[in-house]
Amino acid sequence: MEGSIQTLKYRAEEILEAMTLDEKLGMIHGNELFKTKGIPRLGIPPLVMSDGPMGVRAEFHPTKWITVGNTDDYVSYLPCNSAVAATWNRNLASRTGSVLGSEARGRRKDVILAPGINLKRSPLCGRNFEYFSEDPYLTSELATEYVKGVQRWDVAACLKHFALNHQETARLEVDEEIDDEVLRGLYLQVYKDVIDNANPYSIMVAYNKVNGEYCSQSKYLLNDILRKEWGYEGFVVSDWGAVHDTVEAAEADIDCEMSVTDDFDNYKFAEPLKEKILSGEVDEALIDKKVIRILILMLRLNMLDEDVMIRKDAAYNSFAARQDCLDIARGSVVLLKNEDSVLPLGRYNIKSKRILMIGENANRIHSNGGGSAEIKALYEISPLMGLSSRIGGAAEVTYLRGYASTLVENATPNGTNWQALSLEDGGGKTAEAEECENSVDEISPDAENGERVWKNISQYRKYLREEALAAVDDYDYVIFVGGLNHDIDSEGIDRRNIDLPYEQNELLEALLYKRPDTIVAMIGGGAVDMTRWLDKCKALIWMYYNGMEGGNALAEVILGDINPCGHLPETFYCKAEDSSALSVGDFGDEKLVHYREGFHIGYRHIYKEKIPVQFPFGYGISYSEFEIADPSYNTGRHAVRGKLLNKSGEDGAEIIQVYRLPDDIHDYLELVGFDKVYLRANSEIEFEVTVRDTIGVGKYAVGFNSADLIEI
Ligand code: BGC
């Protein structure tokens, strides 16, 4: 029931009157790992939450971090938010949200803990794959549609992590020191835009501190900015274990405390808060405010009384959801290089041919990793499966591992759930620890059978490399699939650098020397350094963790069944230190991080300092050839107009990007408009891209990426 907020408030106040103090307290803290307490005598159900951005997470035991293990919680596995951002397509963002919302509703969840809308300030943040982009406008535009998509199903979306949760290193206590103007004008503005445009019903408060105060008890962030200035009336929940002080959090405008431990009565908002209220130290009226906001949420979701009859029904694992996953995955594949038209292979050309796929990521499942974003996927099409299942009858597809992250292929995570220990170690180990583990002497499982014995992983990698290199001449086509995985792109871990791991560089250098026509496909959550072999590589495809249909989308691009149209939502730096976070500001400190770079993050810094990159923000090519003609700025319509020409024989889609050039008011390049346009072969169309409101009128430029622009 989405009545006026005042009507909802009156109704909530009436319900509140009948409640005892214990009942109120039960509603404002976890009583299970993902659930609060309901009040059956008043017909109030518990509030049920679940992660996360790539699908609805598996069902957990109420008090332990073990999954229940039934067969009814396999779900659609969606492309990660970076993949959604690579589509630059509002409609696909809306479909992502809608699948997530309907599956959450189907799984009987009330709040889905997504989307993550922190900006990719540093390329090293382990959770970057969960975030959309380094750009605030691209993020807020897509997150807006995503949130509306979720909430269409009477499920609350939850913007996270408010605010500045940009690193995983020491995430539970690190202090992010930032100038107020930058805090508000850049990072908080993304939240404000999504709140204004999509009315997300909930927000999650981050673990870290901002300017010395824990976000979870920051009166500045929560009471002053979020509630008073922005008038936000939604539900504010802590990240799991982010609340530290009973009185301060009670006084801050946070409504619910969740955590990872099972001593629910000891949560700050449980017995400790009751004592403070009974002793008069905390005013019960503060608790009432929180309960009222939770009741408003429940009313909005039609969870109370006879409203339940009109609450939306929804299903999970529908065929339609799988089609959505495929369409989103298709839209997000980014073609980065295609010299000599190596791609696409073309179905006719591969008939009766031999194709060799090399690289662990061709055969690896990613859905089960990443931290709280892990998914129990109904299925996940790997690149090997995608290609083989499409052309198995026509061509022979052979797989060789080529490089290895571990000695065991497709190792499943071990028994202990990282989240149970997350308050002690921040939720994971460092990438450094991971790397060391891999380099200690290990014995292959084959050793006992008297077969191969590897002294260490490097020796094993050398073997795999040589095996692959020896084979390549026997094949008509060679496709390499590598990159990162969720041992590296993960909650609780930051990357130490953007190096390509597992000796993939050594393999690729040799491979491209022998077979310069090798098609290289990279999978990951953010940039990897490819400079050692980039100029030798003719065909390069980038794909973020791309959901259950990711392998199919990749195969379709390689074969030419579809024309790729994704563009990078972030800068692919040559090295991490080229980013402003690591050069002007700092990143990864355990105590204090300075945002000295101010507004100049991502491509803004690159443009100003003229730093060479591997690929600029917004970059992506296709099998078509597009051109912009006669661009002009129309003041009345506040839009950039022009002609888009497809000068090739291939139907395709292009993303028209409008940037405001630096001037005296803003001294940085800024994305202010974009649209995806589909265009038939050898044709042209008039376009009009609306420019977002910026302070004052600027000078604009238009193009297909941030580095190659036509000034207007
Ligand atoms: C993560 C959140 C997640 C929560 C619940 C925390 O570790 O930071 O993003 O929603 O756990 O699983």
Helices 284-300 and 5-17: angle between axes, nearest 10 degrees:
120
Per-residue pLDDT, averaged over 615-643, amounts to 96
DSSP conformational letter for 39:
B
Interatomic CA distance for residues 101 and 110, integer angstroms: 9
The closest residue, in CA terms, to atom 5 on ligand 1 is: 240
Q: Given phi > 0 = left and psi -120 to 50 = alpha, else beta, which region is 640?
A: beta
CA neighbor of 160 nearest in space, from 338, 450, 397, 372: 372
215-235 per-position pLDDT tens digit = 999 999 999 999 999 999 999
Domains plus CATH for the chain? 5-310 (3.20.20.300), 329-615 (3.40.50.1700), 626-711 (2.60.40.10)
Q: How confident is the model at residue 415 (pLDDT cuts 50, 70, 90)?
A: low
* Whether the predicted pLDDT of 593 surpasses 50: yes
Q: Which atom belonging to ligand 1 lies closest to the Cα atom of 113? A: 10
Percent of the chain at pLDDT above 90? Answer: 90
Q: How far is the CA of 473 from the centre of ligand 1 (A)?
A: 48
Q: Which atom belonging to ligand 1 lies closest to the Cα atom of 130? A: 9
Interatomic CA distance for residues 556 and 541, integer angstroms: 12
521-547 per-position pLDDT tens digit = 999 999 999 999 999 999 999 999 999
The pLDDT, as a whole number, for residue 327 is 98
Q: 649: which 2 tokens? A: 């024989």
644-666 per-position pLDDT tens digit = 999 999 999 999 999 999 998 88
The pLDDT, as a whole number, for residue 444 is 55
246-270 per-position pLDDT tens digit = 999 999 999 999 999 999 999 999 9
SS (H, E, C) 593-628: EECCCCCCCCHHHHHHHCCCEEECCCCCECCCCEEE
The pLDDT, as a whole number, for residue 289 is 98
Contact 255, 290 (CB under 8 A): yes
Candidate from 33, 48, 51 with most ligand 1 atoms within 8 A of CB, to mutate: 51
Per-residue pLDDT, averaged over 678-691, amounts to 98
The closest residue, in CA terms, to atom 3 on ligand 1 is: 372
Q: 162: which 2 tokens? A: 């408010």
**Cα 409 from chain centre:** 26
The closest residue, in CA terms, to atom 11 on ligand 1 is: 240
Q: Which atom belonging to ligand 1 lies closest to the Cα atom of 207? A: 8
Q: How confident is the model at residue 411 (pLDDT cuts 50, 70, 90)?
A: low
List of residues 6+ apart from 633 with CB closer than 8 A = 639, 640, 641, 691, 700, 712
Written as one letter, the residue type at 28 is: I
CA neighbor of 481 nearest in space, from 395, 328, 572, 356: 356
Q: How confident is the model at residue 436 (pLDDT cuts 50, 70, 90)?
A: very low
* Whether the predicted pLDDT of 433 surpasses 50: no
Interatomic CA distance for residues 378 and 317, integer angstroms: 8
Q: How far is the CA of 662 from the centre of ligand 1 (A)?
A: 38
Q: How far is the CA of 328 from the centre of ligand 1 (A)?
A: 25
Q: Which atom belonging to ligand 1 lies closest to the Cα atom of 158? A: 10
Q: How far is the CA of 205 from the centre of ligand 1 (A)?
A: 10
Catalytic hit among 73, 110, 154, 239: 239
Q: How far is the CA of 693 from the centre of ligand 1 (A)?
A: 34
**CA dihedral angle for residue 219, residue 222, residue 223, residue 228, rounded to 10 degrees:** 150
Q: How confident is the model at residue 421 (pLDDT cuts 50, 70, 90)?
A: confident
For the chain, the average pLDDT equals 94
Candidate from 202, 259, 372, 490 with most ligand 1 atoms within 8 A of CB, to mutate: 372
* Whether the predicted pLDDT of 442 surpasses 60: no
CA neighbor of 133 nearest in space, from 658, 572, 661: 572
Q: Which atom belonging to ligand 1 lies closest to the Cα atom of 171? A: 8
**Cα 526 from chain centre:** 10
Q: How far is the CA of 112 from the centre of ligand 1 (A)?
A: 11
The pLDDT, as a whole number, for residue 664 is 85
239 is catalytic: yes
113-151 per-position pLDDT tens digit = 999 999 999 999 999 999 999 999 999 999 999 999 999
The pLDDT, as a whole number, for residue 698 is 84
The closest residue, in CA terms, to atom 9 on ligand 1 is: 372
Task: Give residues (CB < 6 A) around ligand 1.
Answer: 51-52, 113, 160, 239-240, 372, 422, 427
Q: How far is the CA of 463 from the centre of ligand 1 (A)?
A: 40
The pLDDT, as a whole number, for residue 440 is 43
Written as one letter, the residue type at 183 is: L
The closest residue, in CA terms, to atom 8 on ligand 1 is: 239
Degrees to nearest 5, angle at CA 680 with 678 and 684: 85
Q: How far is the CA of 373 from the centre of ligand 1 (A)?
A: 8
Candidate from 113, 125, 490 with most ligand 1 atoms within 8 A of CB, to mutate: 113
SS (H, E, C) 11-26: HHHHHHHCCCHHHHHH
The closest residue, in CA terms, to atom 2 on ligand 1 is: 239
Phi, psi for 388 (deg, rounded to 5) = -60, -45
The pLDDT, as a whole number, for residue 407 is 77
Q: How far is the CA of 647 from the centre of ligand 1 (A)?
A: 47
23-50 per-position pLDDT tens digit = 999 999 999 999 999 999 999 999 999 9
**Cα 647 from chain centre:** 34
Q: How far is the CA of 239 from the centre of ligand 1 (A)?
A: 6
* Whether the predicted pLDDT of 633 surpasses 90: yes
The closest residue, in CA terms, to atom 12 on ligand 1 is: 372
